[in-house]
Structure 1
Amino acid sequence: MLPSAPEVAHVISQAVAPVFLLAGLGSFLNVCTSRLARIIDRSRSLEPDILASRGAKHDRLIVELRVLDRRMALVSRAIFATVLSAVLTCAVVVLLFASGLTGLNFGTGIALLFIGAMISLATGFAVFLVETRIGAAAVRIRSDLLDHEVEGS
């Protein structure tokens, strides 16, 4: 028995909210990947300076590189959690259509997948929050520069 056009329209209207969520996830992934690219660019720009530096400057650059490495790992985790949320949201849409078109009851599966998608999304946001806090702390002006006075003045 084939579903009628109004039944298909009803299924589509149910699937609209998760599809809007996917659009938001895509935007957040764009922010994360742009941030990751900037972190990678900064770490690559430090490599020649690290190899050419000695003493306190070398130590400072190594500390900065370690912070960048940690931030890369965090952004990568945020991307993973967000992509997982997107995959689970796609599964919700598929099950909504399958349920609406076949008449089978996938309600529990849909609910569990959506809960998983929200947990994964919240995890991605939380990890991203940690990364942004680390990034903000790393770009603060060093106190030795703020206290620096020109000799002979």
Structure 2
Amino acid sequence: MNEVLVADSIARVIQLSIAPVFLLTAIGTLLSVMTNRLHRVIDRARVWEAKLETESSPNEIAHHNSHLATLSKRAKLIGSAITLCTAAALFVCTLIATLFVERFVNLDLKTPVALLFIFAMLLLIAGLIIFLREIFVATHSLRIGPH
């Protein structure tokens, strides 16, 4: 009979942790998108740096430096967004572990669980806002067609 209660208890904790696991999957997908954007920014910066090394015209050097400054700003924004979203993922992982600890140690950890969830959401919101800012910087500096 005790084994049945333990199995039911484990099943209940797994049920409770499903939503945070989906959230963790979503954050992982966001992190993948962000790291891909960071890679593209880094690759573009290397191209502009190579152009800068071969340039001697002061106007062209200023033009290249302007592009590099924008790419640097984008990289910093993406880096901050990645940091915040990674912290959110860590809070979600801690939340899942806390759910299991609460069930098996018979502690009332509802307040820490709620706080972990709130902090994870705040970090995720902040990361998404900074990511959106990076997108605004990227689209603002976008030039299509002849210059």
TM bucket, shorter chain? over 0.9
| 2:46 aligned residue | 44
Unaligned 5+ residue runs, structure 1? 146-153
Structure with higher Rg: it is: 1
Is residue 63 from structure 1 mapped to residue 66 from structure 2 by the alignment?
yes
The CA distance in 1 between the partners of 2:47 and 2:67, in whole Å, is 12
Secondary structure of the residue aligned to 1:75 is helix
Q: Does 1:103 align with 2:106?
A: yes
Corresponding residue of 1:8: 10
Aligned positions, number: 144
- What is the aligned-residue identity percentage? 33
**Residue in 2 aligned with 1:135?**
138
Cα distance in 2 for residues equivalent to 1:111 and 1:19: 15
Q: TM-score, normalised by structure 2?
A: 0.93
User: Once superposed, which parts of structure 1, at least 4 consecutive aligned residues long, lie more than 2 Å away?
Assistant: none
Which of 44-53 and 87-96 deviates more?
Answer: 44-53
Determine the structure 2 residue equivalent to 1:149.
none
Give how far 1:100 is off: 1.2
Letter in 2 for 1:57: E
- Shifted more, 83-92 versus 44-53: the winner is 44-53
CA drift at 1:58: 1.3
User: CA-atom RMSD, angstroms?
Assistant: 1.6
